Chains A and B, each alone.
Chain A
Amino acid sequence: MATTKMKIKKNKAGGHDVMVLAKHPMETGLRKNKKTGEKIPAHFIQTMEFALNGTVVAQANLGAGVSKNPLIGIAIAGASSGDTVSVNWIDNKGEGDSAEKAVK
């Protein structure tokens, strides 16, 4: 169901920017179904872990206040060519997805 894409780019500081696009509805739990008037239950990504060569370097905490299909970017310093960057996210229903890419 879920797709997660990752892009790695060199940044001006000499490190790399990692952008992750996760496909996710990010429901707040406040929205109502217009036809039935029922509340749509909350469904959002909670944590997104970034790892460099298997070691976790950063963790993003997301709430329902993050837009649908979140695009999250972080910078990693000290990654060199051939290193692998991976991302792993989990939502409030325990579902998750991961992606992995090598640094060019």
Chain B
Amino acid sequence: MKRRIFLKGSLAAGTVAVAAGAGLLAPARVLAATWPEAAFAAKTEADALRAFFGDAAVVDSDKVSLKAPLQAENGAYVPIKVMTSLTDAEAIAVVVEKNPVPYVTSLQMTVVAGGMYSARIKMAQTSPVNCYVKAGGKLHKVSQEIKVTIGGCGG
């Protein structure tokens, strides 16, 4: 009887090990040209983050900075620039809370690529823009509200 319990236990442990292995392999898969469809399909910020980063603690950080206008005249072109001094940054994601698709864009990078990502994004309405940088298993967050006078989604 005890032997049976032991076997069951080791089987369960085996599954955990496989799951951990898959988790460890994830960084290698990072640059395999897959488009994170689940993150783009997510309707809320939390879902999108979970789909893209997995579960990670969010911390406000001064090592990440966001350069963006306080007010955008045209929501179809909002230039943003995310910079980070974190040397072990793995990925950057830009989330606009009130867009129909909150998860706007992201960058996955290797050590060779420095901590900068800039893009022009569309914003449907005035909304906080949240940028997340994943480094050392944590999500470093920086946020700024951008006022939009003309929306850019759906024209």
Contacts and interface: CB of A to CB of B under 8 A. Distances in A.
Interface of A: 11, 13, 15, 17, 19, 28, 30-32, 46-47, 49-50, 52, 55-68, 70-78, 90
A63 B33 CA distance: 14
Contacts, number: 126
B114 A66 contact: no
Nearest to A77: B114
7 contacts: A50-B113, A60-B107, A61-B36, A64-B101, A65-B96, A74-B118, A76-B114
B110 A58 contact: yes
B112 A49 contact: no
User: Which of A50, A68, A74 has the most CB atoms of chain B within a 10 A radius of its CB?
Assistant: A74
A20 to B, nearest CB: 10
A84 to B, nearest CB: 14
A65 B153 contact: yes
